[in-house]
A and B are shown apart, each in its own frame.
Chain A
Amino acid sequence: LAKTTQPISMDSYEGQEVNITCSHNNIATNDYITWYQQFPSQGPRFIIQGYKTKVTNEVASLFIPADRKSSTLSLPRVSLSDTAVYYCLVGDFRNAGNNRKLIWGLGTSLAVNP
């Protein structure tokens, strides 16, 4: 069963690039890697998802090495509003049966300072 490990907290400054790495040594062949953002008193919000190599959207990039045992969320030029908790999720959404395992990391609390 995949277990995800990520740093508890990180600090940054406005305008910098932030990279948050998640370790998932036991990732299964069919598992996807997904990152979510959560603000206090709100539900998590999807940021980006990937299976291998690199994925980029309008808010972030996700880097996944060939062995898929880790992944790195990259947030370019962060602002104060990016202060939040970021979660790594590893799981197989395609499995429609009773083996759909969704393993969340404990979250990385990112503080962006002016």
Chain B
Amino acid sequence: NAGVTQTPKFQVLKTGQSMTLQCAQDMNHNSMYWYRQDPGMGLRLIYYSASEGTTDKGEVPNGYNVSRLNKREFSLRLESAAPSQTSVYFCASSELGVGGGYEQYFGPGTRLTVT
């Protein structure tokens, strides 16, 4: 099991360019998430997908769009990148655990720089 995979690992964009961050999980989880992590800000939820076919905004959705392509894949798109979107992006997935709790599994992250 690869768990949660993300591509690319690193990316440099110029202001105004677009790109899509890819995420896939092989744990058959229903829920998937996109976070950004900035120094001093902790993790902030951008969008999530509670189940296949649904997506919802998190805390900081402006400037982003998402697609839940199927149960395995959840992509994050930046239509017109801005320097404020320079960050580390994490994808995660979760499912109801044996004990009744929800454990999120995280990917390795994508380090994005917008110049």
Chain A residues with a Cβ under 8 A of chain B: 32, 34, 36, 41-46, 49-51, 87, 93-98, 100-102, 104-107
Contact = CB atoms under 8 A, between A and B. Distances in A.
Interface in B40-90: 40-45, 48, 50-51, 54, 56-59, 90
B103 A44 contact: no
Contacts of A98: 56-57
A32 B40 contact: no
Contacts of B104: 34, 36, 44, 46
A101 B59 CA distance: 8
A41 B107 CA distance: 11
Nearest to B31: A93
Given A96-B50, A100-B50, A43 B108 contact: yes
B2 to A, nearest CB: 13
A105 B57 contact: no
Nearest to A103: B59
Contact of A44 (B40, B59, B106): B106
A61 B103 CA distance: 16
